[in-house]
Amino acid sequence: MGMTCRICVIQMKTRRTKEASLRAALEGIRRGAEKGADFAVLPEMFACPYDTGAFPGYAEEAGGETVRRLSEAAARHGLYVVGGSIPERDGEGKLYNTSFVFGRDGKLLARHRKVHLFDVEIPGGIRFRESDVLSPGEAATVFPTEFGNMGLCLCFDLRFPELFRAMTDRGARMVFCPAAFNRTTGPRHWELLFRARAVDHQIFTVGAAPAADLSASYVSYGHSIVVSPWGEVTAQAGEEETLLMAEADLDQVSAVRAQIPLLKSRKDFYSF
C-alpha cells in the first residue's frame, strides 16, 4: 500500500443536545467514508458546549455511549476515527478533556487526555479556565496505522513544541489536533502554529475545529486545516459547517527530512 492517505475533517457545530451532536458526527463520518477517507477527524468537544459549566453534566466514562458509537462507526465504515474530544470522567470522579482514536475494526487505538489546560485571560479578549473543572493528562500520545505512527494532541497542546518533539521521537509522521481556538487567538495564531509545528518537526499537522456558532457562549474560529511538512497549507476551511477533504503523501516526511536534516542536526542543550 502506498503512503498517501485521505483525511476528512468534520467541521461541525455542537447541537442543542448530546444526541443531536453525536448523530451529526456519525453522519459526517459516513459521508467521509463515502468520499474515500482513511481518517475521519472530529473537533474538540464536538458533542458538548465548550463551557466549563457544561463539562460535568456531559461527562462520560471511557466505555460510555459516545465512545461506543464512535467505535461502531469506525468498524461499520472501515476507517480510522479520531474522535475529537469529550469530557471524560475516571473512576475517581476526575474530569479530563479526552480524545479517543479507533482503528478500522473499531478497536480503541489511543486515548489522549489534554496535557496543557486552557487557562488564559486576555484583556479585551477572552477569559477561560479549564483547570477550574478539568485535570491535566500526563502523556504524549502516538498510535500505529498502516501509514506509520500518528500523533494526537488537543488544542492548547499545540503551543508546546516539546510535546510535538516527544511524538516525533516516537515516530509520528502526522499529528491530529482537535482544537477550538476562538476569535481572539484564532486569527493571530491558528495557521501560524499549525505551520510552525509542521516545519519544526517535519510532519503533517491536522487541525479539526468546530464551526462558528454565533449563538454559543464560546465562538469557535473554525478554519480546520491540513499542513504539509514543508509548512504549506494544503487545505483549509472557513467558519461554516463543512467536510474538509485532503490528501497527505506521507513519503514527503522522509523526503523533507533528507533534504533538511533537522532531526539529525539537533543538539541536546540540556546536556550543555
From the list 31, 75, 16, 39, the residue with the least C-alpha distance to 178 is 39
User: Which position among 114, 130, 153, 177 bears the catalytic label?
Assistant: 114
- For the question of residue 155 being annotated catalytic, the response is yes
Let me know: does 66 contact 102? Beta carbons within 8 Å.
no
* Residue-by-residue DSSP string for 64-105: SHHHHHHHHHHHHHTSEEE---EEEE-TTS-EEEEEEEE-TT
- For the question of residue 44 being annotated catalytic, the response is yes
- For the question of residue 13 being annotated catalytic, the response is no
Cell numbers at 131, concatenated: 483547570
User: Which position among 8, 48, 153, 155 bears the catalytic label?
Assistant: 155
Calpha distance 83→67 (Å, rounded): 8
User: Which position among 44, 60, 130, 239 bears the catalytic label?
Assistant: 44
Q: What is the residue whose three cell numbers read 482513511?
A: 38
Positions annotated as catalytic residues are 44, 114, 155
